[in-house]
Structure 1
Amino acid sequence: MPSQTSPATPTFSGIWSIIKRSIRGEDIDLTHGSLRTAIILLAIPMMLEMAMESVFALVDLYFVGHLEHSSYAIQTVGLTESVLAVLYSLAIGLSMATTAVVARRIGEKKPIDASRAGGQAIFVALILNSIVSIFGIIYAKEILLLMGASEESARHGERFTQIMMGSSVFIMLLFLINGIFRGAGNAAIAMKSLVVANAINIILCPLLINGIGPVEGLGLTGAAIATSIGRGTGVIYQLYHLSNGKHIIRIYLKYLKPRWYEIIALCKIAGPAVLQFVIASCSWIFLAQLVAVTGADEGSAGYQTALRLMMFFMLPAWGLSNAAATLVGQNLGAGLLERAEKAVFKTARYNALYMLIVTAISFACADLLVSFFSNDQEVRKVAKEAIYIMSTAYVLYGIGMVLINAFNGAGDTQTPTWINLVGFWLLQIPLAHILARHFEMGPTGVFMAIPIAESCITVAGIILFRKGNWKSVKV
């Protein structure tokens, strides 16, 4: 049997060689060799990919936070991102299902079947997104008002929300196609697509928001246009690599023609995966609305600032946990159950270490981090309080992410769905409501409910993972 761990401590040159391989990108067989090496090869580009995804919101937040009426602008960006979280749920859920199927087929040495599965997933994504986009364009202002924005904030932010919702197909495809590449073990392509998208966004944001020379800036609307163009460019980069024949996955146009038995099989996995993320996203939407109502515009802007900073640190952890999904999928496909389980435990340890470092940074640098995104002292005060409270359970967040992705990578999307349903809707939402309103703690009560619920979710994940039912799921 091939060795599953490194026989010796790696040298600096050996580690540097692995890092260069991970950034360069290659199709990797993850069913043999060192697990540590496999995790590093996957984790580095996956963490950078997720960090790049969070940069979109932070770049927008930075530039609009220095506009006139910045509290309106920050609130609009934050509330729109909260609404888009539902779309992210669709994209991530479908992406996770696609990763599971593609990884399983790659583990079974069936690259053509893996490519067909990817094509069917793209077809489903395009159909779903068309519905969401039309709804978002028509009801943009009503969505902001429903989320708790004031009439003035909704008026300022309507065009921003329309553009973001109308161009959401790029969000959907970025997540989905990256899921295809991750399932095949080539995480570097996924990372590079986000680097391209962010580079365009960072260049265009200040130009379109503030203007240049005699050209007047578009303000908040400019932020939406810059982000949409950036993401669209990233999708073009992805499509090039899907079709150029240089990778193990190659998708032809004919693979997008619907094959209903494959779509049904994919949707059986994707359905619970989408639902688990919708459950979580709707919980975050409720919390955002509760903070907006109990904390006014400044409280809402402070919470949204803290949330964007939290996601900046959390998304790389989610990227690292994606390594577990790919490793589980490919090794289950190859029949290596013990190796799949060891990969999860090892990835969880790495993620816990990363989140421990993030916790220290959050406590030490909260004031500095918040100061980059708002000049309003009241907004900063709320944001710092939120960061201090939410970061208390970051280590448990990190472990929980790995377990959730391990279930999803195995194709067992129902278990994390039930965990999320109980943890978010039966614990986090009621607890936040009780603390914020009954005990009159306002936004502070909402902040406290988050680490309590997330910790309970992680404990439930550990218990159910150890039962081992995920090992027998058929994909």
Structure 2
Amino acid sequence: MSDIAEIPVDEQERPLPPPPRPVKSALTDGPILRTLLGLAWPNVVALSAGTCVVIAETSYIGRLGVEALAAMALVFPTVILTMTMSGGAMGGAVASAIARALGAGDRERAGTLAAHALLIGISFGLVFMLGMLIFGPRVLEMLGGRGDVLTHAIAYTQVFFGGAVLPWLLNTMAGVLRGTGNMKLPSLLILNSAVWQIVLGGTLGLGLGPMPQLGMRGVAAGALIAYSMNIGVMGWYLFSGRARVVPKLRGLRIQWVMFFDILKVGAIACFSPLQSVLTISIFTHMLAKFGTAILAGYGIGARLEFLLTSIAFSFGIASVPMIGMAVGAGRIARARSIAWIAGASAFVAVGAPACLVATFPDLWVNIFTDSAMVRAASHQYLSTVAPFYAFIGLASTMYFSSQGAAKVIGPVLAQTARLIYIAALGWWLSTHDATAQSFFWLAASSMVVLGLLSCSSVVLTRWGPRESRGAIRPALSAAAD
């Protein structure tokens, strides 16, 4: 007897519940370029403010002495690694998971994902806190810290990483909001954080007004206080119901599938900033043998790269919710179109000012130095490498676009290939007494390699679900019984 015959008639005739309706919005149905630009510009403003923080901190830390300035340079890579991992890598993964759930019309899942994302952010913050408090002094010593420089660096590390949960929690909340397509509030709060970080860091570090001079501890404390203020505002906005997604904390049951949905992107994506910092460290070490002027000239060029990468980040992070919602709704062709339009936009937005500086390097170099030797080295580096910064912008958007599609391993492997390329050819150049100009060409060509490989990974990676073939045959055989 057929199994179907055993089902009551009223249940046979009862219609199946309709599938969740995808969210209709500009992110899923609007013009791609206009929507992308609308999402990107708040990030450009906010990240430009972040650049102002770096400049301001350099200014008032310099008043604490040369040792404090050197200490800040020593801890800067670990701080940047914390912020890029929490904001770009894991924050992008959170935004991707939220956007894919909303694109499929499943707000309940999006709220559950948001709650699990907060647990991930807190957990990673605790790992960074314990890791740097226990091993931080040894790491700073391995990086070359000695004497008063090491003392200042440890003082900053103890305070900043003692509150490492705060930047992780802040960037996780920002990732939840960005996944809903809300770029303005996170950007506004980043701008607010930048202002307070400058004011509080300078006041506590230098001891302005009635405050005692806390030195590097005060600078770090200023950053943490600014983060705490913004966590309060963002938390209120999320849990008040004003956002499209409310984290489901009450009665939360841990679901490992939710952790996996975020970590399958975020855990892999974290290798990208890690490899980027390692690549820069290796290249800097190779250039050190050419003397202070060459190293300083490269540093000036690297500051420009850091600034322009922020523009690429703005386009990339804007593409995450657009692509995530398109993939969640099964609109793979639109998702790929968003990726290519975002990549082309970042290529132009980064490449145009970079080529301008390559042609007229004094526009940038004069801000930092009046040394003839350093200026000559900066001119040499920028004229060679700056025209290729556009490929860094292209690679960055491919990385974030792949996050939106939850297929990030390709761009991460592209970063691995660049690391190997720099290390292998750099070693070969070092053994053949190559000039600094040869190393500059190495840096330029590595950017092209990274950009092209990142694009290739997007072309070659399937973004849509794989077709299921085995599920049909059993149903047919059951009907035939």
Q: TM-score range by the shorter chain?
A: 0.7 to 0.9
Asked if 1:33 is matched to 2:30, the reply is: yes
- 2:191 corresponds in structure 1 to 195
Aligned position for 1:12: none
Cα pair distance change 1:157/1:377, threshold 3 Å: farther
1:357 corresponds to:
352
Contact 2:42 2:184 in 1 (8 A): yes
Counterpart of 1:63 in structure 2 is 60
Name 2:458's counterpart in structure 1: 465
Residues 1:161 and 1:337: Cα distance change in structure 2 (over 3 Å): same
Secondary structure in structure 1 of the residue aligned to 2:27: coil
Distance between the aligned counterparts of 1:411 and 1:137, measured in 2?
33
The CA distance in 1 between the partners of 2:217 and 2:373, in whole Å, is 25
Measured against aligned partners, the alpha-carbon deviations of 1:358-409 in whole angstroms (never above 9, x if no partner) come to 2145336755645656788877776665555442311121222222221111
Query: 2:21 maps to which residue?
Result: none
Aligned counterparts of 2:290 and 2:79: Cα–Cα separation in 1: 22
3-state SS of paired residue (2:330) = coil
Aligned pair partner of 2:132 in 116, 133, 136 = 136
Q: 2:392 aligns with which of 394, 397, 410?
A: 397
1:108 touches 1:334 (CA, 8 Å); kept in 2?
yes
Matched residue type, 1:106: L
Supply the distance in 2 between the matched residues of 1:175 and 1:120 (Cα, whole angstroms). Answer: 14
Q: Aligned pair in 2 of structure 1 residues 433, 180: CA closer, same or farther (>3 Å)?
A: farther
Q: Identify the residue that residue 447 of structure 2 maps to in structure 1.
A: 454
The letter of the residue matching 1:471 is G
Cα deviation 1:224-281 (Å, max 9, x = unaligned): 2222222222222221221111110112433766322321333223222222332223
Matches within 5 A, 1:167-178: 167-178=163-174
Residue 422 of structure 2 aligns with which residue? 428
Q: Which moved more, 1:298-307 or 1:457-466?
A: 298-307
Partners in 2 of 1:285 and 1:325 — Cα distance?
A: 29
Alignment CA distance shift 1:379-1:327 (3 Å): same
Aligned partners of 1:334 and 1:247: how far apart in 2? 21
Preserved contact between residue 125 and residue 169 of structure 2 (Cα < 8 Å): no
What pairs with 1:11-410 in structure 2 (closer than 5 Å)? 28-69=25-66, 72-91=67-86, 92-213=88-209, 215=211, 217-254=213-250, 258-290=254-286, 294=289, 304=299, 306-363=301-358, 367=362, 369=364, 372=367, 386-410=381-405
In the alignment, the residues of structure 1 paired with residue 363 and residue 203 of structure 2 have an alpha-carbon distance, to the nearest angstrom, of 26
Secondary structure of 1:245's aligned partner: coil
What is the alpha-carbon distance in structure 1 between the residues aligned to residue 140 and residue 430 of structure 2?
21
Secondary structure at 1:31 match in 2: helix
In the TM superposition, what whole-angstrom CA distance separates every residue of 1:135-174 from its partner, at most 9, and x where no partner exists?
2123333222222345443233221232232222222223
Equivalent pair of 1:137/1:163 in contact (CA under 8 Å): no
Tell me how far apart the structure 2 counterparts of residues 237 and 361 of structure 1 sit (CA, whole Å). Answer: 40
Distance 1:392 1:368, change over 3 A: closer
- The alpha-carbon deviation at position 125 of structure 1 amounts to 1.8
Given the superposition, is the C-alpha separation of residues 366 and 183 from structure 1 closer, same or farther in structure 2, using an over 3 Å criterion? Answer: same
Q: What residue is the counterpart of 1:19 in the other structure?
A: none
2: distance between equivalents of 1:220 and 1:377?
Answer: 32
Structure 1 residue runs without a partner (length 5+): 1-26
Q: 1:298–1:217: structure 2 CA closer, same or farther, 3 Å change rule? A: farther
Secondary structure at the counterpart of residue 85 of structure 2: helix
Give the direction of change, closer, same or farther, for the CA distance of 1:169–1:385 in structure 2 (3 Å limit): farther
Aligned-pair distance for 1:101? 1.1
CA distance in 2, matches of 1:255, 1:385: 61
> What is the TM-score of this pair, normalised by structure 1?
0.82
Q: Which amino acid aligns with 1:103?
A: A
**For the residues of structure 2 that align with 1:94 and 1:388, how far apart are their CA atoms?**
35
Do the aligned residues in 1 keep the contact of 2:102 with 2:328 (CA within 8 Å)? yes
Q: Identity over the aligned pairs, expressed in percent?
A: 18
Contact residue 74 and residue 153 of structure 2 kept, 8 A? no
In 1, distance between residues paired with 2:123 and 2:300? Answer: 33
SS of the residue 2:243 aligns to: coil
Contact 1:103 1:330 in 2 (8 A): yes
Q: Distance in 1 between matches of 2:443 and 2:251?
A: 42
- What residue is the counterpart of 1:417 in the other structure? 412
DSSP 3-state at the match of 1:148: coil
Shift in Å, 1:51: 2.9
Q: Residue 389 of structure 2 aligns to which amino acid in structure 1?
A: Y
Q: Report the Cα distance in structure 1 between the residues aligned to 2:124 and 2:223, rounded to whole angstroms.
A: 21
Alpha-carbon distance change, 265 to 354 in structure 1, aligned in 2, over 3 angstroms: closer
The CA RMSD over aligned residues, in Å, is 3.1
For 2:186 and 2:302, how far apart are their aligned partners in 1? 24
Q: 1:413 to 1:335 in 2, by over 3 A?
A: same
